[in-house]
Chains A and B, each alone.
Chain A
Amino acid sequence: EAGVAQSPRYKIIEKRQSVAFWCNPISGHATLYWYQQILGQGPKLLIQFQNNGVVDDSQLPKDRFSAERLKGVDSTLKIQPAKLEDSAVYLCASSVSSGASTDTQYFGPGTRLTVL
């Protein structure tokens, strides 16, 4: 079974530029998550989708971050404009069913973003 795919793996941009990340979850997984992992910290949930609807985006900085999951499959996360403090690894994860915390989440390798 193919895992969660993310691209690009690495991205370097200057502050105030825009950037987009892409995630393709495991086939058939209904729930998709985006996490931000700042160096030295654990992952923090940014947004959770179930199919193509948003379940939780309470920690997404909506003035600059946006995410969509068209057709309930793959997803994009965008930052516009980027700030220095957005430097982090952005992890995508998926789970098979309702998105309850007891569901096993499968993580992709992440995109490492550096903002200069």
Chain B
Amino acid sequence: AQSVTQLGSHVSVSEGALVLLRCNYSSSVPPYLFWYVQYPNQGLQLLLKYTSAATLVKGINGFEAEFKKSETSFHLTKPSAHMSDAAEYFCAVSDWGRDDKIIFGKGTRLHILP
């Protein structure tokens, strides 16, 4: 069964610094991969998704992620952190063509230091 592992339940970066949130997936077939963001007291919002086209995916708010099959990774990055990026980020996977259900990771809370 497919799954994702997010490394680090909390990550702190200084404002203006690089943001790197790590996600590794497990899937027996080529997966679809997603990153969602959840701001306090709000629902989830899709940041970006990988659906077997370009391996470097650009999303909203300056975020991007790169699919690396050899490393089974889909890490999320942003060159320069902003205070408004403070939120919880979820990596997710689905096996299109099988049960097609989205399986979420446990999330990483991103803290931005002034």
A93 touches B43 (CB 8 A): yes
Neighbouring B residues of A100 by C-beta, 8 Å: 96, 100
* Interface membership of chain A positions 68-97, coded 1 if the CB is closer than 8 angstroms to chain B and 0 otherwise: 000000000000000000000001010000
- Judged by a CB distance under 8 angstroms, whether A108 is at the interface is yes
A101 touches B101 (CB 8 A): yes
A40 touches B101 (CB 8 A): no
Mark out the residues of chain A between 24 and 81 whose CB falls within 8 Å of any chain B CB in the assembled complex. 40-45, 56
Neighbouring A residues of B44 by C-beta, 8 Å: 43, 91, 93, 105, 107
Mark out the residues of chain B between 52 and 70 whose CB falls within 8 Å of any chain A CB in the assembled complex. none
Q: Considering the chains assembled together, what is the distance between the CA atoms of A56 and B99 in angstroms?
A: 9
Q: How many residues of B contact A (CB 8 A)?
A: 23
Neighbouring B residues of A106 by C-beta, 8 Å: 43
Interface size class of A (residues with CB under 8 A): 20 to 34
B43 touches A102 (CB 8 A): no
**CB nearest neighbor in B for A4:** B43
Give min CB distance, B30 to chain A, whole Å: 13
Give min CB distance, A95 to chain B, whole Å: 10
- Judged by a CB distance under 8 angstroms, whether B26 is at the interface is no
Neighbouring A residues of B9 by C-beta, 8 Å: 40
Other than the given A41-B107, A102-B94, A110-B43, 14 more pairs (CB < 8 A) read A40-B107, A42-B106, A43-B90, A43-B104, A44-B104, A45-B102, A56-B99, A93-B44, A101-B96, A107-B44, A107-B45, A108-B43, A109-B42, A109-B43
B contacts, CB < 8 Å to A: 9, 32, 41-46, 49, 51, 90, 92, 94, 96, 99-107
23 A-B pairs with CB atoms under 8 Å apart are A4-B43, A41-B107, A42-B90, A42-B92, A42-B103, A42-B105, A43-B44, A45-B101, A56-B99, A56-B101, A91-B43, A93-B44, A99-B100, A100-B96, A100-B100, A101-B100, A101-B101, A101-B102, A102-B32, A104-B46, A107-B45, A109-B43, A110-B43
